[in-house]
Amino acid sequence: MYTKDNIFAKNQRINSFQLSKLHTFEVAARHNSFSLAAEELSMTPSAISHRINKLEEELGIILFVRSHRKITLTEEGERIYIALNKTLNELNQEVMDVKSGDISGELTIYSRPSFAQCWLVPRIYSFKKQYPSIELNILTGNENINFQGYGIDAAIYFDEQIPQKLWYKELMEESIIPVCTQEYADQLNLIERPENLKYTTLLHDNQAWDYNSHHGEWTLWANENGIPNIDDIPSISFDRSDLAVTAAMNNAGIAMGRLSLVKKRLVTGELITPFVGTQLQCAQKYYVVRASHNPSQKLALFLSWLINEVEQQ
């Protein structure tokens, strides 16, 4: 098929005309179809076929085996396609890096465990999609950390104490309300009957705002809603709000849920609020803290993304 004159020379570089044809080849190979390639490129199938034929002549390589209404890559064509696809992916990554200011490297965020589990982590894919070159590290814990020497760029706290001598920004308020499964509520006749709490097991975060807050969330909620003797009800305590909620989802009891963290469970019906209209706004709020008033470009991008996510929820 090919003569010595039209075979691609061993040391010859691909020219701009061949790059255009290689793009056509990539689309045809991806679809395994000249017709589908024609639709994507707004061309006719015959024009696609002509371009591929010309590319094969210029390269001196048969790229496709043609049969009736079907094309398949040859072994050589498969190798060219894999190399081309890899190159295009790498080029696309470089373009994204340039568009984001070529911002790369590590960024370490410290967060309360429940907030990370229920709110931050489910949304983190969108940050990574926007800034793929930033290597994000998420650390969790209940203590307030010392930024010096820990390599932490920012922390997300849930507290009513305003941090001293640190930059901070309030993210959002929080409310608490009891949550359980429909099955548990039906079993103990809880719907709109908070007096039946005495038959339940209370599930709670005993580090809601300090290391020994015990069932303080339940006490605050009960006092607000006129429910006596809450201390006499059996309970199970955890050091994380999301663990109490997980226990509730498995019918271990009724949990004091933080509304922003259980909202998705309520929408799906995995959990219900048996006492509608009894939610209590917390004194504590979520806020983000950093040591410096002048954040790095990576941190500035993360903070902007974080605030945008809060505003869109």
Range 103-126 average pLDDT: 91
Q: Which amino acid is present at 48?
A: I
Q: Which of 14-23, 204-213, 304-313 has the lowest mean pLDDT?
A: 204-213
Rounded Cα distance, 297 and 278, in Å: 43
Pairing state of beta strands 167-179 and 254-258? Answer: antiparallel
Residue pair 139/110 in contact (Cβ under 8 Å)? The answer is yes
To the question of domain 16-99 being in CATH 3.40.50.300, the answer is no
Domains 16-99 and 105-172+286-312 alike in fold: no
What confidence score (pLDDT) does residue 149 get? 63
Rounded Cα gap, residues 228 and 233, in angstroms: 10
Q: Is the pLDDT of residue 249 over 80?
A: yes
pLDDT digits (tens, 9 = 90+) for 75-104: 999 999 998 988 887 777 666 656 655 577
Q: Which two tokens stand for residue 55?
A: 């590319």
Per-residue pLDDT at 6: 47
Domain boundaries, the chain: 16-99, 105-172+286-312, 173-282
Q: Under CATH, which architecture does the 105-172+286-312 domain have?
A: 3-Layer(aba) Sandwich (3.40)
pTM of the shown model: 0.63
Architecture, CATH, for domain 173-282: 3-Layer(aba) Sandwich (3.40)
The tens digit of pLDDT for each residue in 196-214 reads 999 999 999 887 665 556 6
